[in-house]
Structure 1
Amino acid sequence: MSYDNTCKYLAETYPADFARWLLASETTDIEVLKTELTLEPIRADSVTFLQIANQILHLEFQTTPKSTPPLDFRMLDYYTRLKRQYWCEIKQVLIFLQPTSSEIVLKTQYVDTNTTHRYQTMRLWEEDPIPLLANPALLPLATLARTESPTDLLTQVAAAVDMIEETDERQNISACVQVLAGLRFEKNLITQLFSEEIMQESVIYQDILQKGLKQGEERGKKQEALELILRQLTRRFGAIEPETQQQIRTLSITQLEELAEALLDFTSPSDLVNYLANISPLPKVTGDR
Structure 2
Amino acid sequence: MTYDNTCKYLAENYPADFARWLLASDTSDIEVLKTELNLEPIRADSLTFLQISNQILHLEFQTSPKSTPPLDFRMLDYYTRLKRQYWWDIEQVLIFLQATSSEIVFNTQYVDKKTRHEYRVIRLWEEDPTPLLANPALLPLATLARTDSPQDLLEQVAAAVDMIESREERQNISACVQVLAGLRFPKNLMRQLFREEIMQESVIYQDILQKGKEQGKKQEALELILRLLTRRFGVIESEVQQQIRSLSITQLEELAEALLDFSNPSDLVNYLGNIS
Q: If the length of structure 2 is used for normalisation, what is the TM-score?
A: 0.90
Aligned to 1:14: 14
With over 3 angstroms needed to count, the CA separation of the structure-2 counterparts of 1:111 and 1:155, relative to structure 1, is: same
Aligned to 1:137: 137
With over 3 angstroms needed to count, the CA separation of the structure-2 counterparts of 1:244 and 1:10, relative to structure 1, is: closer
Shift of 1:161: 0.6
Aligned to 1:184: 184
The count of corresponding residues between Structure 1 and Structure 2 is: 274
Does the aligned pair in 2 maintain the 1:35–1:43 contact within 8 Å?
no
247, 252, 265: which one aligns with 2:247: 252
Unaligned runs of 5+ in 1: 235-239, 282-289
Does the aligned pair in 2 maintain the 1:10–1:137 contact within 8 Å?
yes
Shift of 1:113: 2.4
Aligned to 1:127: 127
Question: CA–CA distance in 1 between the matches of 2:92 and 2:258?
Answer: 39
Question: CA–CA distance in 2 between the matches of 1:250 and 1:111?
Answer: 27
Question: CA–CA distance in 2 between the matches of 1:66 and 1:161?
Answer: 32
For the aligned residue pairs, the C-alpha RMSD in angstroms reads 2.4
Aligned to 2:157: 157
Shift of 1:264: 4.3
1:1-289 matched pairs, under 5 angstroms: 1-39=1-39, 42-234=42-234, 240=235, 243=238, 246-247=241-242, 250-253=245-248, 254=251, 257-258=254-255, 261=258, 264=261, 266=263, 271=266, 275=270
Shift of 1:255: 7.0
Q: Secondary structure at the match of 2:190?
A: helix
With over 3 angstroms needed to count, the CA separation of the structure-2 counterparts of 1:186 and 1:85, relative to structure 1, is: same
Q: Secondary structure at the match of 1:165?
A: coil
Shift of 1:44: 2.2
Does the aligned pair in 2 maintain the 1:161–1:174 contact within 8 Å?
yes
- The range that moved more, 138-147 or 72-81, is 72-81
Aligned residue type for 1:24: A
Does the aligned pair in 1 maintain the 2:259–2:268 contact within 8 Å?
no
Shift of 1:262: 6.7
Aligned residue type for 1:29: D
Aligned residue type for 1:139: L
Q: Secondary structure at the match of 1:113?
A: coil
Question: CA–CA distance in 1 between the matches of 2:275 and 2:70?
Answer: 17
Aligned to 1:287: none
Aligned residue type for 1:4: D
Question: CA–CA distance in 2 between the matches of 1:83 and 1:67?
Answer: 23
User: Alpha-carbon deviations, 1:71-116, whole Å to 9, x = none?
Assistant: 1111111111111111101111010000112111011111122221
With over 3 angstroms needed to count, the CA separation of the structure-2 counterparts of 1:209 and 1:152, relative to structure 1, is: same
Question: CA–CA distance in 1 between the matches of 2:230 and 2:261?
Answer: 13
Question: CA–CA distance in 2 between the matches of 1:196 and 1:107?
Answer: 38
Does the aligned pair in 1 maintain the 2:229–2:236 contact within 8 Å?
no
Instruction: Indicate the percent of aligned positions where both proteins have the same amino acid.
Output: 69
Aligned residue type for 1:198: I
With over 3 angstroms needed to count, the CA separation of the structure-2 counterparts of 1:215 and 1:6, relative to structure 1, is: same
Does the aligned pair in 1 maintain the 2:62–2:95 contact within 8 Å?
yes
Q: Greater RCO between the two (CA within 8 Å, min separation 6)?
A: 1
Unaligned runs of 5+ in 2: none
Shift of 1:231: 1.5
